[in-house]
Copies of this chain bind each other. A is one copy, B any other.
């Protein structure tokens, strides 16, 4: 084993809808073969125009009622309902939903920090695995290397305080390092060991920026063993099947 590094990509401009984010990253970063580029959801949502102004949302009666119960903004609750397939919890001021993309998180991933415009929020990318594939292709076109790409967001967790950054999309990466059937150093079977590589890389990248710095991309170097030529299954492979989940 040798060391791994997380290197913030500095100097990217404030992003606008339609900006070629992959090209911008390729231009600002000295990318090498085997790198992983972790891109913050907010940057992806901005270039994909996944921004809404709460003043332009017309809440339904259901959203207004839920907003009253939870002491939330009715327009925000309407957007959460629009972006979700089901609500997992709606109590004590907290709204945890399963997004159309299949992620379970607070407020369906809708976020208002660092979004320019009055009462503007970002929605999650519609399909963050597709976003990661597009970014990978753009980077490859501009830089002639094909790093893995992760799109990440910070989610709260049951039982633990604080948020951890996780992968909501990826391309060119083995998201899970599945040791099923392999053996440990002493010959014992590692039957349930499967580190969530993509999530741990997302968290590592998050440590290399701070929330106010506006650095939307971080290069993680030294993990080429998880980088694949094919785009692979994406972060979809990290979704626990409903029937296998005890916490819905």
A206 in the interface (beta carbon within 8 A) = yes
Interface string of A88-126 (1 = CB under 8 A from B): 010110101000000110000000111110000000000
A214 in the interface (beta carbon within 8 A) = yes
Hey, which chain B residues are within 8 Å of A15, CB to CB? none
Which residues from 176 to 201 on chain A have a C-beta closer than 8 Å to any C-beta of chain B? 176-177, 179, 182-186, 188-190, 193-197, 199-201
**When chains A and B are docked, how far (Å) is the Cα of A214 from the Cα of B238?**
26
**When chains A and B are docked, how far (Å) is the Cα of A195 from the Cα of B154?**
8
The range of chain A's interface size is 35 or more
Copies per complex of this chain: 2
**When chains A and B are docked, how far (Å) is the Cα of A190 from the Cα of B194?**
33
Hey, which chain B residues are within 8 Å of A89, CB to CB? 246-247
Which residues from 140 to 164 on chain A have a C-beta closer than 8 Å to any C-beta of chain B? 154, 157-164
A interface vs B, CB < 8 Å?
Answer: 1-8, 10, 89, 91-92, 94, 96, 103-104, 112-116, 154, 157-166, 175-177, 179, 182-186, 188-190, 193-197, 199-201, 203-204, 206-215, 222-223, 237-240, 244-248
